[in-house]
Amino acid sequence: MTKQDRAVRTRLALIRSAAGQFEARGYVQASLAEISAGAGVSSGALHFHFANKAAVAEAVEHAAARALRRAAARGRDGDGCALQRLVDVTHQVARLLCADSVVRAGLRLNAEAAAGRVRDLRREWRECVDDLLAEAERQGELAAGVPPHRTGAVVLAATTGIEVLAREDHGWLARPSLTDLWQLLLPSLAAPHLAGALDPAGTRPGHVDADHAETGLSLANTL
Amino acid sequence: MTKQDRAVRTRLALIRSAAGQFEARGYVQASLAEISAGAGVSSGALHFHFANKAAVAEAVEHAAARALRRAAARGRDGDGCALQRLVDVTHQVARLLCADSVVRAGLRLNAEAAAGRVRDLRREWRECVDDLLAEAERQGELAAGVPPHRTGAVVLAATTGIEVLAREDHGWLARPSLTDLWQLLLPSLAAPHLAGALDPAGTRPGHVDADHAETGLSLANTL
């Protein structure tokens, strides 16, 4: 392994260790000593990569943002029924959160930071949801009288609630919660010709390992 | 005003000031000096009522719990259609949160405290939702194939999301968010004979002032 490879691996290990600490103890309680110990490196090695705790948190948040944007883009830019892609992208994001502590910790750090930040992942998620609902409306996939923007607010509220509840109990990210949500929402949302054609459990099988590998890749890309 | 009345008023003023500080700056950043200044009393007066910041937070949380339990009990113990009472109680809790910073701050302090606490307001809310859905099932108000417990999880997720999003933007607690949610959920939830008979906007007109006065009362009762 070259010196550069080792540096990349150390940085990744520090980001993963920090995510675990932030998730378990919160940003304020997390200590740099435990982050470096968790990554199996000296505190000198930590300080070679990161000036302080805020810099480690920024790296965790940045990695999470990349992974989440990638998952959202896959859903948004696909083809076929937009309403089904909306269902699918919620399941994909939940799988990503379920599989990867860096994504969970980074999303939480972002949400807890003061308002008015440049990078607002909830706002980006809302845009992804709204884009897919607007596309569904253009394609005649929505039932009469369903306002896309107000429906986007309901989807944002429900998915935000699942993410927040999952901080205490990861079971909320498992497939049934989202499937139950879509099972109740889709009959009101979908145009009659789509009745029965949409799958509330999502149409793309879970690729937790692939998602996880991709997050690793996106982490490497942040270096 | 008797000496005792003055003490009651000072304690209430401190609880309101603390709630404002916790809401605006978070528990960690809030300072006792600003809490006493906000209540218009000396720091000596604050320490007469509360040993430390944790004790003020406990009083805020306790007051919020009483007000929320009262609102939930009003919904749970009413009569008539249980599904409509579930819709109504969500609107009542939202109005309470909208009107009263003590309830907002107390609920948030409770949610952010470590897991495994004796007083878990989200768990109590889930029980209220589940009780009303179970009653709705017993009364034949649910559509065939709607599992009450899994539906309760969806309602908990959506209402938790609204509460969390409202921390940044109180507009989430205004009536349309919940009305939109119920407008989408009720057609799937309700038995066919109730179609059109349920009001997603709630059947009890808002009594924000009354709710607010009651919270004041419940605060006084905590003394």
The answer to whether B220 and B12 have CB atoms below 8 angstroms apart is: yes
Taking only the tens place, the pLDDT of each residue in A165-188 is 999 898 999 878 999 999 999 999
**Closest to B83 (Cα-Cα) out of B138, B44, B124:** B138
On the question of pLDDT at A205 being above 70, the answer is no
Q: Give the model's pLDDT for residue A206.
A: 53
- Report the gap between the CA of B88 and the closest CA in chain A (Å): 18
Q: Are residues B151 and A28, on separate chains, in Cβ contact within 8 Å?
A: no
- Report the gap between the CA of A168 and the closest CA in chain B (Å): 7
On the question of pLDDT at A67 being above 90, the answer is yes
Beta bridge partners of B142: B190
Q: B24 touching A, CB under 8 A?
A: no
- DSSP-derived 3-state class of residue B52: coil
| CA-based nearest residue in chain A for residue B154 | A181
- Smallest Cβ–Cβ distance between B181 and the set A146, A157, A176 belongs to A157
Q: Give the model's pLDDT for residue B213.
A: 45
Q: What is the 3-state secondary structure (H, E, C) of chain A?
A: CCHHHHHHHHHHHHHHHHHHHHHHHHHHHCCHHHHHHHHCCCHHHHHHHCCCHHHHHHHHHHHHHHHHHHHHHHHHCCCCCHHHHHHHHHHHHHHHHHHCHHHHHHHHHHHHCCCCCCCCHHHHHHHHHHHHHHHHHHCCCECCCCCHHHHHHHHHHHHHHHHHHHCCCHHHHCHHHHHHHHHHHHHHHECHHHCCCCCCCCCCCCCHHHHHHHHHHHHHHCC
Which one of B107, B133, B164, B169 makes the best mutation probe of the A interface by having the most chain A beta carbons within 10 Å?
Answer: B164
Q: Which residues contact B100 (CB under 8 A, 6 or more apart)?
A: B67, B211, B212, B215
Q: Which residues contact A109 (CB under 8 A, 6 or more apart)?
A: A22, A27, A57, A60, A61, A64
Q: Are residues B168 and A115, on separate chains, in Cβ contact within 8 Å?
A: yes
Task: Please state, in angstroms and rounded to a whole number, the distance separating the CA atoms of residues B186 and A5.
Answer: 56
Taking only the tens place, the pLDDT of each residue in A22-58 is 999 888 889 999 999 999 999 999 999 999 999 999 9
Taking only the tens place, the pLDDT of each residue in B88-118 is 999 999 999 999 999 999 999 998 875 556 6
Query: DSSP alpha helices (H): ranges in chain B?
Result: 3-29, 32-39, 43-49, 53-76, 82-99, 101-112, 121-138, 148-166, 175-189, 208-221
| CA-based nearest residue in chain A for residue B25 | A114
| Rounded-to-10 torsion of CA B30, B168, B118, A22 | -80
A118-122, A132-136, B82-86, range with the lowest pLDDT: A118-122
Chain B residues within 8 A of A150 when measuring between CB atoms: 176, 180
Tell me the count of A-B CB pairs closer than 8 A. Answer: 84
**Closest to B9 (Cα-Cα) out of B223, B214, B215:** B223
Question: Domains in chain B, ordered, with CATH?
Answer: 64-221 (1.10.357.10)
Task: Please state, in angstroms and rounded to a whole number, the distance separating the CA atoms of residues B26 and B111.
Answer: 13
Q: Are residues A184 and B181, on separate chains, in Cβ contact within 8 Å?
A: no
Q: What's the mean pLDDT in A95-100?
A: 94
The mean pLDDT value of chain B amounts to 89
Amino acid (one-letter) located at B109: L
Q: B177 touching A, CB under 8 A?
A: yes
Q: Give the model's pLDDT for residue B22.
A: 95
- Smallest Cβ–Cβ distance between B157 and the set A122, A153, A161 belongs to A161
- DSSP-derived 3-state class of residue B88: helix
Chain B residues within 8 A of A156 when measuring between CB atoms: 161, 165
Q: Are residues A157 and B176, on separate chains, in Cβ contact within 8 Å?
A: no
Q: A195 touching B, CB under 8 A?
A: no
Beta bridge partners of A142: A190
Beta bridge partners of A190: A142
Task: Please state, in angstroms and rounded to a whole number, the distance separating the CA atoms of residues A184 and B194.
Answer: 16
Q: Give the model's pLDDT for residue B105.
A: 95
Q: B171 touching A, CB under 8 A?
A: no
**Closest to B83 (Cα-Cα) out of B175, B203, B172:** B203
Q: Give the model's pLDDT for residue A1.
A: 75
On the question of pLDDT at A148 being above 80, the answer is yes
Q: A168 touching B, CB under 8 A?
A: yes
If 0-12 CB within 10 Å is exposed, 13-18 middle and 19+ buried, where does residue A204 land?
A: middle
**Closest to B179 (Cα-Cα) out of A8, A58, A100, A154:** A154
**Closest to B71 (Cα-Cα) out of B205, B215, B201, B196:** B215
Residue with tokens 């968010």: B177
Chain A residues within 8 A of B136 when measuring between CB atoms: none
| Rounded-to-10 torsion of CA A191, A192, A193, A199 | 70
Counting as low any pLDDT under 70, the low residues of chain B are: 114-118, 205-223
Q: Are residues A154 and B184, on separate chains, in Cβ contact within 8 Å?
A: yes
| CA-based nearest residue in chain A for residue B166 | A157
The distance of Cα A163 from the centroid of its chain, to the nearest Å, equals 9
Q: A29 touching B, CB under 8 A?
A: no
Taking only the tens place, the pLDDT of each residue in B166-189 is 998 989 998 789 999 999 999 999
Residue with tokens 């076929």: A80
| CA-based nearest residue in chain A for residue B153 | A177
- Smallest Cβ–Cβ distance between A157 and the set B115, B122, B158 belongs to B158
- Report the gap between the CA of B24 and the closest CA in chain A (Å): 10
| CA-based nearest residue in chain B for residue A28 | B28
Task: Please state, in angstroms and rounded to a whole number, the distance separating the CA atoms of residues A197 and A83.
Answer: 11
Instruction: Report the percent of chain B where pLDDT is more than 70.
Output: 89
Rounded to 5 degrees, what angle do the CA atoms A62, A64, A68 make?
A: 120
Q: B184 touching A, CB under 8 A?
A: yes
Which one of A164, A167, A175, A179 makes the best mutation probe of the B interface by having the most chain B beta carbons within 10 Å?
Answer: A164
- Smallest Cβ–Cβ distance between B187 and the set A165, A183, A188 belongs to A188
